[in-house]
Amino acid sequence: MKEYDNKILILGIGNCGREDDALGWTFIDKIKENLPANYDYEYKYQLQVEDAELISRYDVVYFIDAHKEQFDKGFTWGDGHPIATHSFTTHELDPGTVLYLSKSIYDKLPKSYILGISGLRFELKIGLSDTAKENLSQALEFFNDKTLNLVT
């Protein structure tokens, strides 16, 4: 992790072997070369308990993931909020649970945002659907405008 005053992390969540589930990773692929020095990024198959420690080291965290729901703009954007859940699995956690754990265990709650990008196909196959590509383009444009013209 780089040392800066305002540390920002982008978590791309997904699986490039499951068609549109690769949206989170592809998002990072498209922007990583143009990120300012205070930005870090990580590719994640899923969020896990250990990610609470990871995000506790940042001031701002963006969670980027594919979504099965079809949104009007092709994506949804919102603030992340800690959510206490009473069941943990060994498989995955949602961003709210990871935020809750970060606050509970490390007394750190980074400002967070969740970007869900609509996808259509999630079978075992490499490559995004045309719809997912268009939704990704819309999400990248939005993110660029929202976060100081990161994408060129």
Domain-wise residue ranges, the chain: 8-146
Give the CA count within 13 Å in the CB-facing half-sphere of 96. Answer: 8
How sure is the predictor about 89, in pLDDT bands with cuts at 50, 70 and 90?
A: low
Q: Considering the entire predicted model, what is its pTM?
A: 0.91
Percent of the chain with pLDDT over 90: 84
Cβ-based neighbour number of residue 70 at 10 Å: 11
How sure is the predictor about 151, in pLDDT bands with cuts at 50, 70 and 90?
A: very low
- 139 CB-contact burial (10 Å; exposed 0-12 / middle 13-18 / buried 19+): buried
CATH architecture, range 8-146: 3-Layer(aba) Sandwich (3.40)
Given a contact cutoff of 8 angstroms between Cβ atoms, the answer to whether 11 and 2 are in contact is no
